[in-house]
Amino acid sequence: MAKAAPSKAGASAPEADLAAVDAAQRATLQKNFNDSRSAFRSWETAQNRTDQHLYVAIGRLAEFAAAVGNDHQALIAFAAEKGVRTTKASSLYTVIAKLVSDDRKKASKYAMVLQLAERRSVERTADSVAGFIKAQGGIEACLRRFRDLQREAGATKRGDRPSAFDKAAERIAGFARIRAPHDLQLTSLSEDYFLVIGMRDADGAMHLLQEPVTDAHLVRKAVAAIAKE
């Protein structure tokens, strides 16, 4: 199969890498990139956006990954051409999600959902992945299950030793508590811990933001911080 022409002297690293990518493989990457971007743009611009529409778009990323196959280096080079910074340690799904989504936080979530689907041996087709996400209860439910798997894997490596978070949670179990205000937005929460941000007005009056923070990293840091002896 014909190869792309060798890079010229002085070419940048991404250009040099791309020169080594098989022309047919690059065409495949470009097609899947275009199709995936189109799927997400279609969802973003739809007048009546539905969760199912988004699930199918995420499933389209799985098809993109299937098309890449084992040629991870070709994908890294392709991403570099598109201005997406990655490393050799970046997972396949992370690179693809970052290529398609301009929102880094959402891209990370999509990648984790796809990794969960792969661990569950879900076929890498848009419909199969979309059906899996729906059956799991949605994107957030998938993220919780994926994080549970990560924690279980960490616990296996540590043996029976409790994590720093587990120790902190045990220490704050006896802390004094008050019931949350009725107007605090709690209906969508499923996590055991979350953060509530307080603000003080110029006159000293205290207020709480109605929207809790559920970012796992921030929550775990906060629990550890207040549990310090």
Distance of CA 94 to the CA centre of its chain: 7
Task: Give which of 67, 66, 65, 88 is closest to 17, Cα–Cα.
Answer: 88
Answer yes or no: do 115 and 80 share one domain: yes
| Both tokens assigned to 88 | 């050799």
Domain assignment present for residue 1? The answer is no
Domain assignment present for residue 142? The answer is yes
Across the chain, where does the E strand assignment appear?
198-200, 206-208
Boundary residue ending a domain (114, 134, 157): 157
Domain assignment present for residue 147? The answer is yes
Answer yes or no: do 30 and 112 share one domain: yes
pLDDT in the model for residue 7: 42
Answer yes or no: do 25 and 137 share one domain: yes
Boundary residue ending a domain (157, 172, 198): 157
pLDDT in the model for residue 110: 94
Domain assignment present for residue 28? The answer is yes
Domain assignment present for residue 4? The answer is no
Answer yes or no: do 136 and 194 share one domain: no
Answer yes or no: do 85 and 188 share one domain: no
pLDDT in the model for residue 60: 95
Answer yes or no: do 134 and 201 share one domain: no
Answer yes or no: do 122 and 86 share one domain: yes
Answer yes or no: do 70 and 104 share one domain: yes
The CA distance from 191 to 189, in Å, is 6
Answer yes or no: do 91 and 37 share one domain: yes
Residue range of the domain that includes 102: 13-157
pLDDT in the model for residue 3: 40
Answer yes or no: do 26 and 104 share one domain: yes
Number of domains in the chain: 2
Per-residue pLDDT of the chain (229 residues), as tens digits, is 444 444 444 444 444 455 555 788 888 899 999 999 999 988 888 878 889 999 999 999 999 999 888 778 888 888 888 888 877 677 889 999 999 988 888 998 999 999 999 888 899 999 999 999 999 999 999 999 888 887 776 655 555 566 677 777 766 665 666 777 777 776 555 566 778 888 887 777 788 887 777 777 787 788 778 777 5
Answer yes or no: do 64 and 117 share one domain: yes
The CA distance from 12 to 9, in Å, is 9
- Is the torsion defined by CA of 150, 155, 156, 157 positive or negative? positive
pLDDT in the model for residue 163: 67
| Both tokens assigned to 176 | 């004094």
Domain assignment present for residue 3? The answer is no
The CA distance from 76 to 90, in Å, is 9
pLDDT in the model for residue 16: 45
Domain assignment present for residue 82? The answer is yes
Answer yes or no: do 17 and 118 share one domain: yes
